[in-house]
Amino acid sequence: MTAEDDFNKKWLNKFKLISGIGLSEEEYKNWVEAKDFERCEKYKSSLLKTSPLVIFLVEHLRRIGVDFNPSDAIHCRPCSATRGGGFSPQNGILLCSNKIFSYNQMQDILSHELIHSWDHHRFKVDWNNLKHHACSEIRAANLSGDCKFFREFARGNVGFNKHQQECVRRRAILSLQANFNCKSAEQAESVVNQVFESCYNDTRPFDEIY
Q: Catalytic residues, which ones? A: 113
Residues contacting residue 72 through CB under 8 Å, at least 6 positions apart = 92
The whole-angstrom separation of Cα 178 and Cα 137 is 12
Query: H-type helices in the chain, by residue range?
Result: 3-19, 25-50, 52-63, 70-73, 103-123, 130-143, 149-155, 163-176, 185-200
205 in Cβ contact with 118 (< 8 Å) = yes
The residue count for the chain: 210
Q: CA end-to-end span of the chain, whole Å?
A: 63
Task: Count CB-CB contacts under 10 A for residue 208.
Answer: 6
84 in Cβ contact with 100 (< 8 Å) = yes
